[in-house]
Structure 1
Amino acid sequence: MSNENVATFIKELTLKLPEGENVNFRAGGYVQLEAPAHHVQYKDFDIGEEYQGDWKHFKFFDLESKVEEPIIRAYSMANYPEEKGILKFNIRIATPPPRTQGLPPGQMSSYVFSLKPGDKIKVYGPFGEFFAKDTQNEMVFIGGGAGMAPMRSHIFD
């Protein structure tokens, strides 16, 4: 597993599947990730040096996430179907809006940002209907941020 910053508030989570296992999905598909009950503190996140200034400016390292029961969220795969043995996701941290007090950060994104090599996470699926039509016509993809994940899958497929 790797969990690297690819932008200030986006991590690319790459899960290595157990030897011999594969998730047969179509480009544009998604899976559901399950996180256990947890308490994570943002000060413990491994944030790339080049992004730490913004995290300090917005006081994100002061945040924490406390979740008392397992949660499940859906995420589109960023890898394409021929990349066997891995699942790749682009996940944006869900922080409270600026100048708000007492609002909790996103439960699953907080958990994902806390993951380190060797950690495990439950995966369900694949699911989805955001599939490209099989046609000879040109396709134009428009997206941004973490929303690029399914488009990356389509483009490389």
Structure 2
Amino acid sequence: MGPVPQGDRQARAHPDRYKEHGDNLTKYGYWYDKHDLSEPWCGRFVSWVFAKAHHPLPRIQDAHGYQYCPDGVSYAKSHHMWHSGVTGAHEGDVIFYDWNGDGVSDHTGIVTRNNGDGSVNTIEGNSGPGSTEVVTHRRSGGTIMGYLRV
């Protein structure tokens, strides 16, 4: 699809601050599937941000994008949209993590900046146990599997 227009990158990088109350019930979950609200919401958050930026994700799992991280990775690989590591990542790329090293993605977010030193800045929702909000991170190292460029 090519580089993301500047306005879309800015919209994706600055969603409103949001905090859930430890139950996974979020506006992102309601937007994604109002009948199944209590699922982990990192993928739902990423899908929501792209939709609100008027640049919806492809039908990775369904019309909204994806909620299950391994499906995002599988889609990216099967559609030749997958890039390992972070070297070429840029704003607007969807990044995937493997926290426990089992080769299966556990988490996802959106790259807001490539720092050029093997690390990226990201915005993520539901980024780990006890995480109940949308936060920014500086990430590097072996937990990053790669990214999807849309």
Larger strand share, 1 or 2: 1
* TM-score normalised over the length of structure 2: 0.24
Q: Higher relative contact order by CA 8 Å / sep ≥ 6: 1 or 2?
A: 1
TM-score scaled by structure 1?
0.24
